[in-house]
Amino acid sequence: MDDIVINMEKNIWFKRKQYGWGWFPVTWQGWIITLLFIGITTAPTFIYPKEVHDHIVIFLIYVSVLSCGLIYICMKTGESPKWQWKDKNDKN
């Protein structure tokens, strides 16, 4: 019965990092979200380089909002975050 409960858990798109705080993608969905984030974040610098330079505060707000969205997605589809720092000699 316990195996059924374990198999019904949510599909993890992002795993917790082994060192520090954060996640990394482990499924194709996680990689798509990561690549979309990078593309959407950097696109204005290639499309409107002068405008981004002239309106840097607006760009920083834009990146901050996108980053908050990525963190939200990681929290919903990934392992619970916590600070980790494993010993190099730790076998687990």
Cα–Cα distance measured from residue 29 to residue 56, given in angstroms and rounded to the nearest whole number = 31
Does the pLDDT at position 50 exceed 80?
Answer: yes
Query: Among 90, 88, 39, 86, which residue's Cα sits nearest to residue 66?
Result: 39
Does the pLDDT at position 45 exceed 70?
Answer: yes
What's the whole-model pTM score? Answer: 0.75
Give the domain ranges of the chain: 28-80
Those residues with Cβ within 8 angstroms of residue 41's Cβ, 6 or more apart along the chain or in another chain: 63, 66
pLDDT for res 88: 60
Q: What is the mean pLDDT of residues 22-33?
A: 93
Residue type, 65: V
Cα–Cα distance measured from residue 79 to residue 21, given in angstroms and rounded to the nearest whole number = 11
